[in-house]
Chains A and B, each alone.
Chain A
Amino acid sequence: MKVLAKSGGLSVDLASAFDASPNPYVLITPDLHIAGVNQAYLDVTNSDRDAIIGQPLFAAFDSGPGEEAPENVRQVRASLEKARDTRQRDHLALVKYSISHRDADGREVFEDRYWSATHTPMLDDQGEVVFLLQHTTDITELQHLRERGSPRQSASALDSMLGGAVLGRAAQVQEDNRRLETERRRLVEMFMQAPGFVAVLDGPDHVFQMHNPAYAQLIGHRDLTGKPIRDALPELAGQGYYEFLDTVFVTGEPHEGRGSLVQLQRTPGAPLENVFLNFIYQPIRDADGQVAGIFVQGHDVTETVVSAERQKLMIDELNHRVKNTLATVQSIAMQTARSHADPGTFAAGFQARLMALSHTHDLLTRSHWEGADLRAILEHETEAHGPHRISLNGPPVALEPAAALSFGMIFHELATNAAKYGALSAPDGRILVDWGVADQSSPVLHLTWREIGGPPATPPTRRGFGSRLIERNIRHDLAGEVKLEYAETGLCAELSVPLGAERAS
């Protein structure tokens, strides 16, 4: 027709043929405006050509005020849109649609009519829809006859005589179609609103046919529809998912993933994001039982996986710390035992060291093991000896947990030593502790512990556990330096310890 119509004057003849056809036709634009009608259409709809050309179809014909009118309009509109969007002819076997006419007094009255309609898309050279042709047949009389025929009065005969069986089948098919369409829409709606992600992949190349908002969010709202997965989500190459899909398509066996790591490009140009998913690839089979596509469904379990990993790390770390602490206590016990021949003094010395360790733990627990302040540790370890005898002078210094534990042990040993042999063993002895932090870019703590008013300090004849513990803690655990000066006025300890660079774990 299209080719013929282009050949010279024949187009005029085709236009008059269109107009002369006894069958009603209406030509509709893709946005559903009336582009042209033939005379039969005007006759059957009681319309005037000038009044309806250019009008929206459903403004010109709205099926009247009846209750069923909106549903009738919806059915015709859906069929037209389907023909337009799929570029395929669509049939409406039976549709009720009311048409108005003027009665004897000139009033507009609506009359129920039954129609059978075919909607055919007319395409241009590029395959775009230019018009939709509605071929419609008024089957009101047939329908009325059929309805009047009571089922008890040889309905089948009447039906078959009037073609009622065909009509009945048509009505049935139409009803089935409507029900299927409703079910399809309900399913699609469920997919769309599902909290998990859902996508339907078509064919051996896994072309995205539909996906829900949760899926769109998962992959960073990229344009997927109509694209094979290898083009749509190229970053999945090498992660094994294309291959799983290929296998599901070939074997028809579903594939399930639990806590699977997927690396996704959710933001253009940004680094790949790690996402953990529970998902299933379920084959979709066609009427012949062949795999036609794959249904993808699942949910994001990243938070659960990450928190489980974090918990495992924390348990490992806790175990490590507990075992290290037990080894530390074991060491304290063994070393204390070596310097105490008498079990009574051993118990006292061991317990005092254990309490020093415990006090620092208390301080750290208060800060949720983020660290402790130097002054707080000093106060803790020296308060038993009377606060007025110890002067603490320095700025706040935040210590990491490992450094805090080391300083706790060091100050405990210094204070114990002062009480036994140093300034705190004399009634008027005092201790001055001064500290400051030098070089803020890589800060170093300088601290001086100076005992005055007590007996002269004398170097120990035998290296006791206390002095070894101090030196080893400073050098080994804190990567710092210590100078112990046994002066006439009393012991003076000078410590310098880099902050934020302590080595102990």
Chain B
Amino acid sequence: MSETLSGRRILVVEDESLVAMLLETILEDMGCTPVGPASTVDEGLALLNGESIDGALLDVNVAGRQIFPVAQALKERGVPFVFSTGYGEGGLPDEWRGQPTIQKPFTEAAVRDALMKALGVATV
């Protein structure tokens, strides 16, 4: 199933390097190419403008700021993305509810399923 994700370029925004390393490892195992990781909102926006991106994994709280400017920019470009968060279900504001979300700590399966759901490749 994960072949469908193979070759996709996935932006990672995550401020904790160990968690970012984990996501990169998981993405590489699925055949994706990690972009970044960005550790701040500004860095995330800069990568978004400089790289071609097929999808994104966004930590909701990066370095004390909320990720929503990056989420908004991705939405405007039609790039699918997944939120990752340590907060509960209620951690997202209303306008972002329903977006594929993974809870920390996450399993490889959770990351894969959420990405496939976001990229709309689950049933291919």
Complex CA distance for A319 and B89, rounded to whole angstroms: 12
Whether B17 contacts A472 by the Cβ 8 Å rule is yes
Whether A324 contacts B63 by the Cβ 8 Å rule is no
Complex CA distance for A499 and B122, rounded to whole angstroms: 45
Q: Fill in one digit per residue for B57-99: 1 if any A CB lies within 8 Å of its CB, else 0.
A: 0000111100000000000000000000111100100000000
Question: Cβ of B22: which chain A residues have Cβ within 8 Å of it?
Answer: 327, 330-331, 334-335
Q: Fill in one digit per residue for A201-233: 1 if any B CB lies within 8 Å of its CB, else 0.
A: 000000000000000000000000000000000
| A114 shortest CB reach to chain B, Å | 78
Complex CA distance for A330 and B20, rounded to whole angstroms: 11
| B4 CB within 8 Å of chain A | no
Whether B63 contacts A503 by the Cβ 8 Å rule is yes
Known: A469-B18, A472-B18, A477-B16. 15 other contacts (CB 8 A): A316-B91, A319-B87, A323-B87, A324-B86, A327-B16, A327-B104, A328-B19, A331-B19, A332-B18, A335-B18, A476-B15, A476-B17, A503-B63, A505-B62, A505-B64
Pick from A324, A327, A503: contact of B40, CB below 8 A.
A503
Complex CA distance for A316 and B87, rounded to whole angstroms: 7
Whether A473 contacts B86 by the Cβ 8 Å rule is no
Complex CA distance for A321 and B85, rounded to whole angstroms: 11
Question: Cβ of B25: which chain A residues have Cβ within 8 Å of it?
Answer: 334-335, 338
| B37 CB within 8 Å of chain A | yes
Whether A324 contacts B39 by the Cβ 8 Å rule is no
| B45 shortest CB reach to chain A, Å | 15
Chain A residues close to B by CB (< 8 Å)? 316, 319-324, 326-332, 334-335, 338, 406, 409, 468-469, 472-473, 475-477, 479, 503-505
Whether A319 contacts B86 by the Cβ 8 Å rule is yes
Whether B105 contacts A329 by the Cβ 8 Å rule is yes
The 3 A-B residue pairs with the shortest CB-CB distance, nearest first, are: A323-B86, A331-B22, A472-B17
Whether A322 contacts B86 by the Cβ 8 Å rule is yes
Question: Cβ of A406: which chain B residues have Cβ within 8 Å of it?
Answer: 17
From 6 to 25 in chain B, residues with beta carbon under 8 angstroms from any chain A beta carbon are 15-22, 25
Closest to A475 in B: B17
Interface core residue of B17, B21, B64, B91 (most chain A CB under 10 Å): B17
| 25 A-B pairs (CB sep. < 8 Å) | A319-B87, A319-B88, A320-B86, A320-B87, A323-B105, A327-B16, A327-B105, A329-B105, A330-B105, A331-B18, A332-B18, A334-B22, A335-B22, A335-B25, A406-B17, A409-B18, A469-B21, A476-B39, A477-B15, A477-B39, A503-B15, A504-B15, A505-B15, A505-B62, A505-B64
Interface core residue of B16, B19, B40, B103 (most chain A CB under 10 Å): B16
| A483 shortest CB reach to chain B, Å | 18
Complex CA distance for A152 and B104, rounded to whole angstroms: 96
Complex CA distance for A476 and B61, rounded to whole angstroms: 15
Complex CA distance for A321 and B62, rounded to whole angstroms: 12
Question: Cβ of A334: which chain B residues have Cβ within 8 Å of it?
Answer: 22, 25
How would you classify the secondary structure of chain A's contact residues: helix, strand, loop or mixed? helix
| B25 shortest CB reach to chain A, Å | 6
Question: Cβ of A331: which chain B residues have Cβ within 8 Å of it?
Answer: 18-19, 21-22
Complex CA distance for A328 and B21, rounded to whole angstroms: 9
> Given that A320-B61, A335-B22 are known contacts, is A469 also in contact with B16, CB under 8 Å in the complex?
no
Complex CA distance for A327 and B106, rounded to whole angstroms: 7
Complex CA distance for A479 and B42, rounded to whole angstroms: 13
Interface core residue of A326, A329, A505 (most chain B CB under 10 Å): A505
Question: Cβ of B21: which chain A residues have Cβ within 8 Å of it?
Answer: 331, 335, 468-469, 472
Closest to B37 in A: A476
Question: Cβ of B88: which chain A residues have Cβ within 8 Å of it?
Answer: 319
Closest to B90 in A: A316
> Given that A320-B61, A327-B16 are known contacts, is A504 also in contact with B105, CB under 8 Å in the complex?
no
Whether A326 contacts B87 by the Cβ 8 Å rule is no
Closest to B106 in A: A327
| A323 shortest CB reach to chain B, Å | 3
Complex CA distance for A254 and B39, rounded to whole angstroms: 53
Complex CA distance for A335 and B18, rounded to whole angstroms: 9
Question: Cβ of B39: which chain A residues have Cβ within 8 Å of it?
Answer: 476-477, 479, 503-504
| B70 shortest CB reach to chain A, Å | 15
Closest to A504 in B: B15
| B29 shortest CB reach to chain A, Å | 10
Question: Cβ of A316: which chain B residues have Cβ within 8 Å of it?
Answer: 87, 91
| B60 shortest CB reach to chain A, Å | 9
| B42 shortest CB reach to chain A, Å | 10
Question: Cβ of B91: which chain A residues have Cβ within 8 Å of it?
Answer: 316
| A309 shortest CB reach to chain B, Å | 16
Question: Cβ of B103: which chain A residues have Cβ within 8 Å of it?
Answer: 323
Closest to A335 in B: B21
Pick from B37, B64, B104: contact of A324, CB below 8 A.
B104
Question: Cβ of A323: which chain B residues have Cβ within 8 Å of it?
Answer: 85-87, 103-105
Closest to B26 in A: A334
Pick from A326, A479, A503: contact of B105, CB below 8 A.
A326
| A478 shortest CB reach to chain B, Å | 9
Question: Cβ of A319: which chain B residues have Cβ within 8 Å of it?
Answer: 86-88
Closest to B19 in A: A327
Complex CA distance for A330 and B18, rounded to whole angstroms: 9
Question: Cβ of A504: which chain B residues have Cβ within 8 Å of it?
Answer: 15-16, 39, 63
Complex CA distance for A445 and B20, rounded to whole angstroms: 25
Whether A472 contacts B20 by the Cβ 8 Å rule is yes
